[in-house]
Amino acid sequence: MVQKTRRRVLVAGALAAAGLTVAKIAEATPTGKLTIALVLKSLADPFTVAMASAAQNYQKHFASQFDLNVLGTSTELDTATQIRMVDDLIGAHTSAIVLAPTDSKALVPVVARAINAGIIVIAIDNPLDEAALDALHLSVPFVGPDNRKGAETIGDYVATKLARGDEVGIIEGVTTDRNAQQRTEGFKAAMDAAGMKVVAVAPGDYTYAKGKAAAATMLAQHPRLRALLCANDNMATGAVDAVRLAHRTGSVYITGYNNNPDIRPLLNSGKILATVDQFAARQAVFGIDVALKALTEMTRQEDLTPLVETPLQLVKSGDR
């Protein structure tokens, strides 16, 4: 019991350091334990794996208070499966759903069904589309970082390595995702402010293969390209291989986003100049804690705080 209490205090300290409160979950709902579902994107992605692992570890410490159901898709673009998962959770009378949407707009109708069924819904990683929510008079809190700010931070750093007027390309994530749009906006803002020329923007859908293909096309079409700004690390890894095959290693800067552990060798070697750590594990735990707090305090969906911003950190080549 002492050890369990100590763990709770440690988790509480981590959340408090980020300006968040810990849900009081001493009592379950009258009908039994609370049930929370964490609905994620592709379980093949290291970022998603980190989210799932952190959430499961958090729940183990407090298994007597709530049950956790972790679900994920097979690919980044499997929106139909994610919608079906949420519908199934509605039928199972889940207490709350913490969702990392595969598509910011396409998930809104099923989220509306969940909220209308009395389920608390929290978005993490990727915000739901504000206009689509407003049209249905819904509010879904977003627990996550400012993606535009993160992209601007990395863009500003790249600009210190370039000369005014240099050509750069942007490899986007899934273009219907709000977080992908925000990262593109941030990259463009940083490049515009520094006087760089964005000569190409193409989607890579957050995958290695599509990121590699987009980079290869840009390199072929723009022989004076000096940098590739990638909206996640999977695409940055693909860009590294495209640059190598084009025999341009060392002449084109490449950046990622997420700070996945498997890119550490590429950061150490300088093949990836920098990435942004948006702390996947914290996002998952914070999202679950916001849901727990709402449930135990019986806060209505419409009364929840619309934004809980989580931290970002620039990680540069050579950082330890």
Sequential pLDDT tens for the chain (320 residues): 333 333 333 344 344 333 333 333 333 344 478 999 999 999 989 999 999 999 999 999 878 889 999 999 998 889 999 999 999 999 999 999 999 999 999 999 999 999 999 999 999 999 999 999 999 999 999 999 999 999 999 999 999 999 999 999 999 999 999 999 999 999 999 999 999 999 999 999 999 999 999 999 999 999 999 999 999 999 999 999 999 999 999 999 999 999 999 999 999 999 999 999 999 999 999 999 999 999 999 999 999 999 999 999 999 998 86
- Cα separation of 142 and 308, whole Å? 6
CA nearest neighbour of 253 among 313, 175, 320, 194: 194
CB 96 within 8 A of CB 37: yes
- Could you give all domains of the chain from N- to C-terminal order, each with its CATH number? 2-145+279-311 (3.40.50.2300), 147-277 (3.40.50.2300)
Instruction: Give Cβ neighbours of residue 130 (< 8 Å, ≥ 6 apart).
Output: none
CB 160 within 8 A of CB 192: no
State the pairing for strand pair 307-309/225-230: unpaired
CB 141 within 8 A of CB 118: no
List phi, psi (to 5°) of 250: 95, -15
Other residues' Cβ atoms within 10 Å of the Cβ of residue 66: 23
Q: What is the pTM of this model?
A: 0.85
- Cα separation of 267 and 40, whole Å? 27
